[in-house]
A and B are shown apart, each in its own frame.
Chain A
Amino acid sequence: MVLNAITLGFIFALLGFGIFLSFKVLNFTDLTAEASFTCGAAISVVFASMGLPFLSLLLAAIGGALAGTITALLHTKLHIEKVLSGILTLTGFYTINLLITNFRPNLNLSRDARAVFPRDNPYVSLVIAIGFALLVAAALVLFFRTKVGLTVRATGDNENMVQSLGMDTDRYKIIGLALSNAVIAISGALFMQYERYYDASFGTGMMVVGVVTIIIGEVFSSRRHYTAIMLLGITLGSIIYRFLYMGVLYWTNQPQYMKLISALSIILFILLSRLRKMKKKEAAHALRHS
């Protein structure tokens, strides 16, 4: 059970990375996440059933990137509000995701179908999940060091400044959101392959899970301009969230409590980080006047 929680923690860390990219780096309240998570899982269940589990991850990433691109285009080219752009994509992708699985709302991965995770060895599954989290985290850290990555960061930080330097911020919003949703879709695909089960409602509530993960992560990583530390914090946050989930399930035997717990834990962690900031300010003030 503990092993399961840790493995899921690493798989959902990717969801956290994706949401970190859109919410924190790009400063874009992107609701597409719920669609791209399901989209990744849907693509993965179809192609893994065909015996192509690894290719399915790549295709899932492309599907997620497409969803992110559509949201970004709606916002940048049609000037639709960020939240509404995400909702429009989310709504449209509900049907697209059903189309991918030929209108079957849930599917099992057959016993003999190959998946990224072995069926009977939780230790190997954990190592694979850690491997994927590390790989994606390393890729993101490297990406943020490239010129495009740096510009994506700057676009979220100060759009006006990026424009002043002669760069088209629309392009970097599109790149950022495509990448964010590609990572989220991989998370969905890995989750499906780990559970060997697909459900069209997988994505529901994933936004909140991602945000909780980031908020818990922020408590552990105060120096936010170091992406690597932030990603590490998110991974830790994701694992803690899974333990919380496990605890709630253990005590109540009712997973529906998790929605309320998620909302409350967001409030609690925001409160904690506010208090910490206030304490820091007070300490700085006291130091100045001592």
Chain B
Amino acid sequence: MPLDIHNLNVDFNVGSINEKHVIRGLNLTLDAHDFVCVLGSNGAGKSTLLNAILGQVPYSGSIALNGVAIDKWPQHKRTRHIGIVYQDPLKGTAPNLTVEENLLLSMRTKGIARRADTKAFLLKAKEELAKLGLGIENSFKLPCNNLSGGMRQVVTLYMATSFDAELLLLDEHTAALDPSTAEKVMQITQDIVTSKGVPALMVTHNLDFALAYGNRLIVLNQGNVVFDVRGKEKEALTREQLLSSYASVLSDRALLQN
């Protein structure tokens, strides 16, 4: 299994008056090629789940990546195997480095050292990014802070998957973009996930995206999975069905879209 989470518990402010059990005994297994959309209200534990997988918060329980327990791995060792795209487009790229330099950095994790390989990598990146029609290929020599938020998210997405990522985590990565850019970035995400065959876990507040993309949908509430649907069953799922059962546990933002 690409990802196997068993009996995950995350507590905040342990021993204080503000102690909070954010994730309680969560079990989740991802199959190869799973593209899972994660819905839930604020505080349901969606982002905390991703942070636990990345080793950014202390937890109990076990997380295994392709059968290997990663619980003792430091954060940087985990991210060598896991790609991550955050909500904030500023988080994923170095603003004063050029697009080319940012891409070269992602390549570094692959250990490509020879000049010829570097050239081939950049050429391929340019070709693949040109296909997306955003014009990123013309900005290779410009610092990343010259790009729009959507372009930066796509560069981050490309960087996160350009090495052989075993898992891709997307933490509301379209939430800070305008609707049409968000739609475009989502399509690109779907294409990249499908073409690279990397299993993905996408946290979102957008019901339409959760229904339209991916092959599996889960709803988190109070730190546990309360709804899990996949394949044909997910395709048949309608917004009304989802809302009739889970309106109370979905975020206000998701409900406002109606």
Measuring CB to CB, which residues of chain A are less than 8 angstroms from any residue of chain B? 147, 150-151, 153-154, 157-158, 160-169, 224-225
- Chain B residues positioned under 8 Å from A153 (CB to CB): 94, 96-97, 101
Identity of the chain B residue whose Cβ is nearest the Cβ of A157 in the assembled complex? B94
Are B91 and A160 touching (Cβ within 8 A)?
A: yes
Residues B76 and A167 in contact, CB atoms below 8 Å apart: yes
In contact, A161 and B93 (Cβ under 8 angstroms): yes
Q: Which of A147, A154, A160, A169 contacts B97 (CB 8 A)?
A: A154
Is B95's CB under 8 angstroms from A165's CB? no
Q: B143 contacts A166, CB within 8 Å? A: no
Q: How large is the interface on B (under 10, 10 to 19, 20 to 34, 35 or more residues)?
A: 20 to 34
Q: Which of B91, B98, B108, B159 contacts A151 (CB 8 A)?
A: B108
**In the complex the two chains form, is B108's CB within 8 Å of A165's CB?**
yes
Contact yes or no, B76 A163, CB < 8 A: yes
Q: How far is the CB of A181 from chain B (nearest CB, A)?
A: 23
Question: How far apart sit A161 and B102, CA to CA, in the bound complex (Å)?
Answer: 10
Q: Does B160 interact with chain A (Cβ within 8 Å)?
A: yes
In B16-54, the 8 Å CB interface with A consists of none
17 pairs of residues in contact across A and B, judged by CB atoms under 8 Å: A147-B108, A150-B105, A153-B96, A154-B101, A154-B105, A157-B95, A157-B97, A158-B90, A158-B95, A161-B92, A165-B79, A165-B109, A166-B79, A166-B109, A166-B163, A225-B97, A225-B98
> In the complex the two chains form, what is the Cα distance from A166 to B159 in whole Å?
12
Additional pairs, 19, CB under 8 Å, beyond known A163-B79, A164-B160: A150-B101, A150-B104, A150-B105, A150-B108, A153-B96, A153-B97, A158-B91, A158-B95, A161-B94, A161-B102, A163-B76, A164-B83, A164-B86, A164-B92, A165-B108, A166-B77, A166-B79, A166-B109, A167-B109
Task: Answer whether residue B202 sits at the interface, using C-beta atoms and an 8 A cutoff.
Answer: no
Closest chain B residue to A167 by CB distance?
B76
The answer to whether A158 and B94 have CB atoms under 8 Å apart is yes
Please classify the interface of chain A as helix (H, G, I), strand (E, B), loop, or mixed, using the class held by over half of its residues.
helix
Bound: A161/B86 CA distance, A = 10
Tell me whether B74 is interfacial, beta carbon within 8 Å. yes
The answer to whether A162 and B105 have CB atoms under 8 Å apart is yes
Q: Which residue of chain A has the shortest Cβ distance to B112 in the bound complex?
A: A147
Separation in Å of the A12 CB from the closest CB of chain B? 25
A224 cross-chain contacts in B, Cβ below 8 A:
96
Interface positions of B from 205 to 250, Cβ below 8 Å from A: none
- Could you say which residues of chain B place their CB within 8 Å of the CB of A161? 91-94, 102, 156
Q: How distant is the Cα of A160 from the Cα of B101 in the complex, in angstroms?
A: 16
B3 interfacial by beta-carbon distance below 8 Å: no
CB distance from A283 to the nearest CB of B (A): 17
- On whether the beta carbons of A154 and B94 are closer than 8 Å, the reply is yes
B76 close to A169 (CB less than 8 A): yes
Q: How far is the CA of A1 from the CA of B190 in the complex (A)?
A: 68
Distance (Å) between the CB of B58 and the closest chain A CB? 16
Q: Which residues of B72-91 are within 8 A (CB) of A?
A: 74-81, 83-84, 86, 90-91
- The distance in angstroms between the C-alpha atoms of A167 and B75, with both chains bound, is 9
**Least Cβ–Cβ distance between B220 and chain A, in angstroms:** 23
What 8 pairs across the A-B complex have the smallest Cβ distances? A166-B80, A157-B94, A166-B79, A154-B94, A158-B94, A168-B76, A166-B109, A147-B108
| Residues in B neighbouring A160, C-beta threshold 8 A | 86, 91
In whole angstroms, how far apart are the Cα atoms of A154 and B107 in the complex?
14
- Nearest residue (CB) in A for B101 is A150
- Complex-state Cα separation, A211 to B80, whole angstroms: 37
Chain A minimum-CB-distance residue to B98: A225
> In the assembled complex, how far is the CB of residue A179 from the closest CB belonging to chain B, in whole angstroms?
18
Please name the residue on chain B nearest to A148 by beta carbon.
Answer: B108
Which A residues touch B105, using CB under 8 A?
A: 150-151, 154, 162, 165
Chain B residue contacts of A225, Cβ below 8 A? 96-98, 143
- Neighbouring B residues of A167 by C-beta, 8 Å: 76, 108-109
Question: B75 contacts which chain A residues (CB < 8 A)?
Answer: 163
Chain B positions 49 through 76: 1 when the CB is less than 8 Å from some CB of chain A, otherwise 0? 0000000000000000000000000111
B106 within 8 A of A: yes
Query: Bound complex: CA of A225 vs CA of B143, how far in Å?
Result: 8
Q: How far is the CB of B72 from chain A (nearest CB, A)?
A: 15
Which among B75, B108, B143, B163 has the highest number of chain A CB atoms within 10 Å? B108
